[in-house]
Amino acid sequence: MSNQAVSDITGKNKDILFHSVNINYDEFKSGRLAWDYEKFMDIVGLSMDEIRKIAAEVYVGSTPLIELNNINRLVRSISPKGKGARIFLKDEADNPTGSFKDRRALLPVYEAKKSGYPGVIASTSGNYGAAVASQAARRGLKAIICQEVYDDAGNGQPESLEKGRACESYGAEVQQYTVGPEVFTYVILKLLDDLGYFSASLYLPFSIAGIETIGAEIMEQAKAQAGRQPDVVLVTHAGGGNFTGAARGLRKSGYTGKMVGVSVNLADLDSHDDAVFARKSFSTGHTGYGFPSLYNPESVDVPLNAARPLRYMDEFYTVTQGEVYYATELLNQLEGLQRGPAGNTGLAAAISLARTMDEDQIIVVEESEYTGAGKAHTAQLTFAEDHGVDVRIGQHEEEIPGTNIIIPATPQDIRTIPVDMDEMRRKYIKMNVKDKGFDNLTAEEVEFLAAETNLDIAGIRRLLDDMDVSIA
């Protein structure tokens, strides 16, 4: 593509994005910093009951909540007396394409059909593409799925390749690319401009609202099966949409417990660096997306991002790749449930955290995902070894992302590492306030930042004072 061709498209960015979703993002902004998030979410215009009815029409949702009795017995056997919380798994693999992403695709495709768009376009390397393709087939719409699959050497991630085939099976056109920003900055925009399709971005209010149903279901099922709400809900955290939607649904249903994010530690591996693409064994659910989505949520394909995980996250932990693969094997062999590793990021953390909690307390692992030829942990480990990553049994602190994958010797060796949430908040303020030259904030802006960072006014004032940002 020529530089002029790119300029012609990027110059129309705002107009293309408006026509592709019919959202005027400017109407939600109230100044240089603050904007009305709840008004933005109200675009959806549907109650929880209405969304669940739409979901039922296309067989999405109403997935089982499963108590992992055998894993729970194991955890209690290695915990101090009286410890070992009950672990439940929300089995999202029971959705049509095998993951919670069916909930995420539900309303964008529904909105596209209702608004008369001829088709939908989504950019994704995995589960979301299959979900969009499936929903489009159900609604009689065309679909184009754009995937980042390969590095420059032609290495393709097993699960991305498998999901590409799944998308094609639903009748979607699949376009596959090497890793790089041009997919978002040019390819998608060009397709939207040429075809007039709906942009089924992961970060629309519609995308997040569909996920809220999982929170409502968790509350209903936990009360029915255990007599009360969970104490902790663990959510595998990447781009923030899953966490945001689940948290909003839980809060709307009266949940008062902890919302906890979990990501795989891929420290020092740039998620968008082609050179290390084949040396990371997780395409999602890792810190390469999990950290930036907290402090830089607007770094996505839409002007305002409806995924705001920092607004809802009480605690955040990391686990290692090896620990997730170990938890995946435990789920296979103790519970007879074969589920893909990304969803088991939360399960790995649950095994560790349950040992510190009372045995009558409840942890819900918010989602599982299907497994298949590309998502099976054995496929991922084989891919890692084929690209020079050392896979062996060892200690937690030995794992170096991109160099090795260390499998724990025992379940006691699984360790959750807490992430400093105030550091994430400081990074948010630096990037969105200090780096933009905003040294004096209005009361409205302070209130907005408090909501954005899940703090009270006193808490956000403390962080602002620490960074020499004054308040008018």
Which residues in 32-103 belong to E strands, given as ranges?
65-67, 86-90
Checking if the pLDDT of 45 tops 90, the result is yes
Kindly report, residue by residue over 167-198, the tens digit of the pLDDT. 999 999 999 887 766 666 678 889 999 999 99
Q: Which of 6-10, 88-92, 108-112, 237-241 has the lowest mean pLDDT?
A: 6-10
Reported confidence tier of residue 1, pLDDT bands at 50, 70, 90: low
**How does strand 119-123 pair with strand 86-90?**
unpaired
Mean pLDDT to the nearest integer, 344-364: 98
Checking if the pLDDT of 373 tops 70, the result is no
As a whole number, the mean pLDDT across the chain is: 92
The larger pLDDT score, comparing residue 184 to residue 347, is at: 347
Distances (CA, A) of 325 to 342, 362, 406, 412, 462: 9, 23, 9, 15, 40
Mean pLDDT to the nearest integer, 305-315: 98
| Backbone dihedral angles phi then psi of residue 318, each to the nearest 5 degrees | -115, 155
Q: Which of 77-81, 130-134, 384-388 has the lowest mean pLDDT?
A: 384-388
What pLDDT does 409 receive?
97
Checking if the pLDDT of 4 tops 70, the result is no
What pLDDT does 182 receive?
66
Q: How far is residue 220's CA from residue 315's CA, in Å, rounded to a whole number? A: 23
What pLDDT does 375 receive?
72
Reported confidence tier of residue 374, pLDDT bands at 50, 70, 90: low
Q: How far is residue 295's CA from residue 298's CA, in Å, rounded to a whole number? A: 9
Checking if the pLDDT of 272 tops 90, the result is no
What pLDDT does 271 receive?
60
Checking if the pLDDT of 82 tops 90, the result is yes
Helix or strand holding residue 95 (H, E)? none
What pLDDT does 274 receive?
64
The larger pLDDT score, comparing residue 372 to residue 294, is at: 294
Checking if the pLDDT of 370 tops 60, the result is yes
Q: How far is residue 401's CA from residue 378's CA, in Å, rounded to a whole number? A: 18
Q: Which of 91-105, 113-127, 132-146, 180-194 has the lowest mean pLDDT?
A: 180-194
Checking if the pLDDT of 239 tops 80, the result is yes
Mean pLDDT to the nearest integer, 353-367: 98
Mean pLDDT to the nearest integer, 10-31: 88
**How does strand 362-365 pair with strand 86-90?**
parallel
b/e burial code for range 13-47 (CB count within 10 A of at least 16 → b): eeebbebbbebeeeebeeeebbbebeebbebbebe
Mean pLDDT to the nearest integer, 380-388: 88
Reported confidence tier of residue 150, pLDDT bands at 50, 70, 90: confident
* 283, amino acid identity: S
**Which CATH number fits the domain 50-97+206-418, given the four candidates 3.40.50.1100, 3.40.50.300, 3.40.1410.10, 3.40.50.720?**
3.40.50.1100
Q: How far is residue 369's CA from residue 221's CA, in Å, rounded to a whole number? A: 19
What pLDDT does 269 receive?
77
CATH code for 3-24+99-204?
A: 3.40.50.1100
Which one of 38-52, 123-137, 161-175 scores highest in mean pLDDT?
A: 38-52
Reported confidence tier of residue 121, pLDDT bands at 50, 70, 90: very high
Kindly report, residue by residue over 155-167, the tens digit of the pLDDT. 777 778 888 899 9
What pLDDT does 149 receive?
77
Q: Residue 274 burial (CB < 10 Å; 0-12/13-18/19+)?
A: middle
* 182, amino acid identity: E
Would the CATH topology of 3-24+99-204 be identical to that of 50-97+206-418?
yes
Distances (CA, A) of 110 to 51, 130, 133, 305: 10, 16, 12, 20
Q: How far is residue 232's CA from residue 311's CA, in Å, rounded to a whole number? A: 17
- In a 3-state reduction of DSSP, which class is residue 404? strand
Where do the structural domains in the chain lie, given as residue ranges?
3-24+99-204, 50-97+206-418, 425-471
Checking if the pLDDT of 213 tops 80, the result is yes
Reported confidence tier of residue 423, pLDDT bands at 50, 70, 90: very high
What pLDDT does 178 receive?
77
